[in-house]
Structure 1
């Protein structure tokens, strides 16, 4: 009887041991190649925004989903409202990549690593249609609304170079169109692609885009320096492949009705 009990006990122990081995090997398999990047995205439609179902959508979302497929990296999106929140998120380590339209500027060039260039962007001024503004010079002594970052750098430099034509710079936490309508400021900078989208949707009638390009930039993704060089190489390879095979151009046409992966005229 004791022998039978001992034999059954040994069989049970062996069975449990085999089960444990299987569970451990399964856990190890799920961790292999389980690389993840958190990408910020915000309220810039069509670049990156939350759609009617409150899900991430837009050019940057499609682009990073494709980068994830090609690189084998799991991509997770984190929504932020406002440029300060975006930069705060990468500085605090909450996100790995900023999914915003930006270029390498003096203010950030030493703070982050950057992806390869994936698109071009042109920013001009927008005002109410009944205003007679035709250039930045016409805004001398007037208020314009800008977001912190590259735009403030540009206009601060512009004011320094044109002391007799200084433009007053303000910011707002309200609706920029409502505040423009109320006369809180006279104009604000906007990307050509966003204004063209407003025109397609019939929302641009009260406004006009005017003057020379305020900024013509090559867009890149700021990357937290904690992201490995190997991962950054995967990102850049995916971007270059997408540029070469036309995938990025197709994503651009879908959201902008134009190819922003190549230099374009106003």
Structure 2
């Protein structure tokens, strides 16, 4: 009888051990996936929370918006929990570079200067800078702004564009705040992403769009020594593009698809 009890106890122990092993292997943590992340089991990403509708802060202090939804969709594809970090835009790239964040999902335009500090994923949306002025302005083109006062967001690529016309450049922590200042009579113009300006006009700001100054590609920034995470993010974006998730998120915020490459094949 004792032998029978001992055998049954051993069998039960084996089942419990096996069951625990199965549970551990399905946690989807960063270490299980082989990805080098800041916190195990999490995808820690940074955004400014000041760039509506791409990222903005809700009443409970959390961020929402197009960038945030994309980041959370990427995290799900990676098998990680999304962990958002609100940070001033001008310091986000350095935060990724130093290992404070796994990635920046903050509408960063791919530039040679930034690519010296971080690696970029494939673009997750396409846009371009545009001039915005008050309705009574005679400004139509960048050349018309020669010597005038132009406002841009701090740390953005738009200061370089504005510098082609003037040295009188004012910076704000947020593109939206710059546009609000413009509508209240400050500055001669603001240069920002055309989608952001379009949304501001739709929200009631008394400003108008003028010359579109080019095309840009926005991507997720990752530390340069984290090749496996970058590859995994690219694979996640490809999946989200193919299954229509990126387009669906874009349609929700903009009523159009800004995630499709305008120079891609039809």
The answer to whether 1:154 aligns with 2:161 is yes
Highest relative contact order (Cα 8 Å, sep 6+), 1 or 2?
A: 1
d(CA) in 2 for partners of 1:74, 1:144? 40
Structure 2 vs 1, CA of residues 254 and 84 (structure 1 numbering), >3 Å: closer, same or farther? Answer: same
| Deviation digits for residues 197-246 of structure 1 (CA, Å, limit 9, x no counterpart) | 23333x13x211111x224111111111243x222222111111111221
CA distances 1:30-69 after superposition (whole Å, capped 9, x unpaired)? 5644543211012111111212332221111111211122
User: In 2, Cα distance between the equivalents of 1:253 and 1:95?
Assistant: 28
Q: What is residue 10 of structure 1 aligned with on the other side? A: none
Larger displacement relative to structure 2 (129-138 or 90-99):
90-99
* 2:65 is equivalent to residue 58 of structure 1: yes
| Whole-angstrom distance in 1 between the partners of 2:106 and 2:91 | 11
Extract unaligned runs of 5+ from structure 1: 1-17, 160-165
Size of the alignment, in residue pairs?
Answer: 239
The residue number in structure 1 matching 2:199 is 197
- TM-score, normalised to structure 1, is 0.77
Bigger shift: residues 240-249 or 50-59: 50-59
> Cα RMSD over matched residues?
3.1
Counterpart for residue 171 of structure 1: 171
Which of 108, 121, 126 aligns to 1:115? It is: 121
Q: Which one has the largest radius of gyration?
A: 1
> Does the 8 A contact of 2:179 with 2:200 survive in 1?
no
Is 2:109 the counterpart of 1:103?
Answer: yes
Distance across 2 between alignment mates of 1:180 and 1:225: 38
CA distance in 2, matches of 1:244, 1:181: 40
Residue aligned with 1:230, SS = helix
In the alignment, structure 2 segments of 5+ residues that lack a partner are: 1-12, 34-39
In the alignment, the residues of structure 1 paired with residue 100 and residue 237 of structure 2 have an alpha-carbon distance, to the nearest angstrom, of: 23
- For 1:241 and 1:167, how far apart are their aligned partners in 2? 44
Alpha carbons of 1:215 and 1:100: their partners in 2 closer, same or farther (altered >3 Å)? Answer: farther
Task: Decide whether the 8 Å contact of 1:126 with 1:187 is kept in 2.
Answer: yes
Q: Which residue of 2 aligns with 1:9?
A: none
Residue 128 (str. 1) matches residue 134 (str. 2): yes
Select which of 65, 81, 99 maps to 1:93: 99
Residues 1:76 and 2:83 are matched in the alignment: yes
Match of 1:163 in 2: none
CA contact (8 A) 1:103 1:219 kept: yes
Distance, in Å, in 1 between the alignment partners of 2:101 and 2:84 is 9
Cα deviation for residue 251 of structure 1 reads: 0.6
Contact 2:151-2:172 within 8 A present in 1 as well: yes
SS at match of 1:100: strand
* 1:143-188 C-alpha deviation (Å, 9 max, x unpaired): 10123342223333x25xxxxxx45222245942453356442111
